[in-house]
Chain A
Amino acid sequence: MFPELNNLLNTTPDRAEQGKLTLLCDANTDGSFLVHHFLSFYLKANCKVCFVALIQSFSHYNIVGQKLGVSLTVARECGQLVFLEGLKSSVDVFFRAQAEPHPLQFLREANAENLQPLYEFVREALKPVDDGEAAWRCPVLLVDDLSVLLSLGMGAVAVLDFIHYCRATVCWERKGNIVALVHDSGDTEDEENNILLNGLSHQSHLILRAEGLATGFCRDVHGQLRILWRTPSQPTTQRDQSLTYQYKIQDKSVSFFAKGMSPAVL
């Protein structure tokens, strides 16, 4: 996790909030550093994490996690982390017929209706242990990323239904959190993606949007991060709070600064 981002979001691993849906969004740039941040944040906060990693392999997250101070292999072995490696399992699902329903079953089907096997997997993974002692603080579902599900043949409504079911189980029933990454395609007319993004933006409590700079590539400022706090359930008279920062990604951390205040400029 990045300490500066924790300061901006006003959280620490000890006082992590519960029952929240956080939406990560990137436009014209790569927002995967946010996924690494939240993964290491919740592992350090002693939460049980179910990570649906559809876009990269386990060792990629592991190596970056080690730079941020968590070990995914240790977390997986002691049961804190349940890792669904999308790329590896997709090969198994696609070439060999599975006996029992696999979370990525929709890869084999021509017209998969919904993501129910994936939801069952998540529900099973974040089931509270029955032996009485509360080993982990709260369950967390992390998805990287949801736009890939659209590329694999699912409709935007099916993905929204999946998130809705997960929210009901994880956020409301078990008082956990969900963090999901969606790509914003910008001006390319990807309607399904826009439906998904708008639908999720209305449901989320916190939106972190990583954008590229409007003026193009810069070596010292890699992008701009917009943080938006929302209260989706209650209509409020006060406006949603929003902050904008610019950031630079380094080898082991990300530094944030106010717009125009990059150390390279000052």
Chain B
Amino acid sequence: MAAVATCGTGAGSTGSVVAAGSKNHVTSFQRRGPRASGSDSSYSRLVSIAGTRPSVRNGQLLVSTGLPALDQLLGGGLAVGTVLLIEEDKYNIYSSLLFKYFLAEGIINGHTLLVASAKEDPADILQELPAPLLDDNFKKDFDEEACNHKTAESNIKMKIAWRYQLLPKMEAGPVSSSRFGHYYDASKKMPQELIEASKWHGFFFPEKSSSTLNIEPCSLTHGYIKLLQFIQNIIYEEGFDGSNPQKKQKNILRIGIQNLGSPLWGDDICCTENGNSHSLTKFLYVLRGLLRTSLSACMITMPTHLIQNKAIISRVTNLSDTVVGLESFIGSERETNPLYKDYHGLIHIRQIPRLNNLIYDVSDVKDLAFKLKRKLFTIERLHLPPDLSDTVSRSSKQDLAEPSKLLGPGCGVMAGGKKHLDF
């Protein structure tokens, strides 16, 4: 059941004035909002930074991940100062797509980009970014598709299947006048002039690996040390942390790191079980320290399915703020499973941070699947198809029961369950 959401989800709030605390160092974890007492002269009312909006729950500044459906699942967006870890799918198809959406969102909003990769040149990555969907072009195509499905507008009350009215609606189409979160056409490339107008820094590890280190050898691998120094340099030089007196920066730095932990970075945790087990975790810790003290947000894709030592995965999860896992059906036996025939993979929201709060926005929907349609990447709730077979055979029920067992306990971010209740 795809119900089209006709109203924007609080998109009008981007115009609100956000007061940013501009003390000696800029931390994004300060409560933003109009100061009633207004005593401190260093607080200044400034126009909101493009592409950000305050969270409705705790006033935390959020940026879009490039996928409005994912933003909704993460509680409105990615908080500035945090790390979003994407656990790559097996062949790194959809995770690199999410990576490109993240960068494309940065270009559209005018954020500064920092792209780090050990596999591809960042300039090549930027050439491959998807083009943004402008509302008027897309609306025509979307209306055509909408006629093919049975859609219910939200202001028509359902008479028979009224329980479905209460289901949470996923955003399926572009919302008009949304300045936060855009839709992208995966089949077209971003126009060259937009890329050239944007400000970006690239870190391509094979080019930088030869220069010498000026830091004492600690247990970090060479690649990670160089990357950390590069990031810290950019943050300081461009003034994202507010410590540089010459530069007053009021923009977001989007950091994208691709395939972190893969052997191309010089790390051997994907090759052997007794590798350098502290290099990656130390890197993540110092990176998070850098992010917390600056106006930046980071997306990392990591091939966790290759990591041999499972303890490292749990440590990495604890050290990241938001963790999303992608599981694609390509090459697995689920590709032919009738349960999954409409979708390309599952998406697991493994962890959402509780920032400045005891509670957090967690979606009730735990069984989520994604599909890459002709233009859009959509995330939907996974439904069990109705059992319409004439002969209720044992074998067909077994096939469907197996994957539903995996869905049953859910991928709880609050609680992981092991036992499956058989009713």
**Inside 8 A of B313's CB, which chain A residues have their CB?**
188
In the complex where A217-B412, A250-B359 touch, is A30 in contact with B311 (Cβ < 8 A)? no
What 0/1 readout, one digit per residue, does chain A (103-121) give for beta carbons within 8 Å of chain B? Answer: 0000111110000000000
In the complex where A67-B358, A216-B409 touch, is A152 in contact with B281 (Cβ < 8 A)? yes
**Inside 8 A of A90's CB, which chain B residues have their CB?**
285-286, 289
Within the complex, the shortest CB–CB distance from B236 to chain A, in Å, comes to: 9
Q: Is A242 in contact with chain B by the CB < 8 A criterion?
A: no
Q: Is A7 in contact with chain B by the CB < 8 A criterion?
A: no
In the complex where A190-B314, A216-B410 touch, is A28 in contact with B357 (Cβ < 8 A)? no
Contact of B419 among A107, A153, A214, A249 (CB under 8 A): A214
**Inside 8 A of A252's CB, which chain B residues have their CB?**
358
Contact of A251 among B27, B355, B358 (CB under 8 A): B358
**Inside 8 A of B416's CB, which chain A residues have their CB?**
28-29, 186, 212, 216
Name the segment of B169-177, B213-221, B325-333, B378-386 touching the other chain. Answer: B213-221
Within the complex, the shortest CB–CB distance from A72 to chain B, in Å, comes to: 12
A124 to B354, CA, bound (A): 32
In the complex where A90-B285, A107-B282, A217-B413 touch, is A254 in contact with B358 (Cβ < 8 A)? yes
Tell me the residues in window 229-261 of chain A with beta carbons closer than 8 Å to chain B beta carbons. 249-252, 254
Within the complex, the shortest CB–CB distance from A156 to chain B, in Å, comes to: 12
**Inside 8 A of A28's CB, which chain B residues have their CB?**
412, 415-416
**Inside 8 A of B232's CB, which chain A residues have their CB?**
91, 95
Interface residue SS majority, chain B? loop
Tell me the residues in window 92-150 of chain A with beta carbons closer than 8 Å to chain B beta carbons. 94-95, 97, 107-111, 147-148, 150
Is B311 touching A249 in the complex (CB atoms < 8 A)?
no
In the complex where A59-B27, A59-B30, A252-B358 touch, is A217 in contact with B415 (Cβ < 8 A)? yes
Tell me the residues in window 31-90 of chain A with beta carbons closer than 8 Å to chain B beta carbons. 32-33, 36, 57, 59-60, 63-64, 67, 86-90
Within the complex, the shortest CB–CB distance from B37 to chain A, in Å, comes to: 15
What 0/1 readout, one digit per residue, does chain B (214-258) give for beta carbons within 8 Å of chain A? Answer: 011111000000001100100000000000000000000000000
**Inside 8 A of B421's CB, which chain A residues have their CB?**
215
Contact of A57 among B292, B408, B413 (CB under 8 A): B292
Within the complex, the shortest CB–CB distance from A213 to chain B, in Å, comes to: 5
Find the B residue at minimum CB distance from A154: B278
Within the complex, the shortest CB–CB distance from A98 to chain B, in Å, comes to: 12
**Inside 8 A of B358's CB, which chain A residues have their CB?**
33, 36, 64, 67, 249-252, 254
**Inside 8 A of A211's CB, which chain B residues have their CB?**
415
Tell me the residues in window 171-215 of chain A with beta carbons closer than 8 Å to chain B beta carbons. 183, 185-186, 188-193, 211-215
Q: Is A19 in contact with chain B by the CB < 8 A criterion?
A: no
Q: How many positions in chain B have a CB within 8 Å of any CB in the partner chain?
A: 50
Contact of A189 among B27, B290, B310, B318 (CB under 8 A): B310
A219 to B410, CA, bound (A): 13
In the complex where A107-B218, A148-B318, A151-B282 touch, is A190 in contact with B311 (Cβ < 8 A)? yes
Within the complex, the shortest CB–CB distance from A44 to chain B, in Å, comes to: 17
Q: Is A266 in contact with chain B by the CB < 8 A criterion?
A: no
Is A63 touching B356 in the complex (CB atoms < 8 A)?
yes
Is A185 touching B311 in the complex (CB atoms < 8 A)?
yes
A183 to B278, CA, bound (A): 17
In the complex where A95-B229, A249-B358 touch, is A57 in contact with B282 (Cβ < 8 A)? no
Within the complex, the shortest CB–CB distance from A133 to chain B, in Å, comes to: 32
Is A64 touching B415 in the complex (CB atoms < 8 A)?
no
Contact of A215 among B285, B288, B419 (CB under 8 A): B419
Within the complex, the shortest CB–CB distance from B87 to chain A, in Å, comes to: 14
Is B408 touching A216 in the complex (CB atoms < 8 A)?
yes
Q: Is B31 in contact with chain A by the CB < 8 A criterion?
A: yes
Is A212 touching B414 in the complex (CB atoms < 8 A)?
yes
Contact of B415 among A108, A183, A193, A212 (CB under 8 A): A212
A88 to B289, CA, bound (A): 5
A186 to B397, CA, bound (A): 32
Find the A residue at minimum CB distance from B25: A88
Within the complex, the shortest CB–CB distance from B232 to chain A, in Å, comes to: 6
A-B contact list, 9 entries, CB within 8 Å: A64-B358, A95-B228, A110-B218, A151-B285, A153-B282, A190-B310, A215-B421, A217-B412, A223-B414
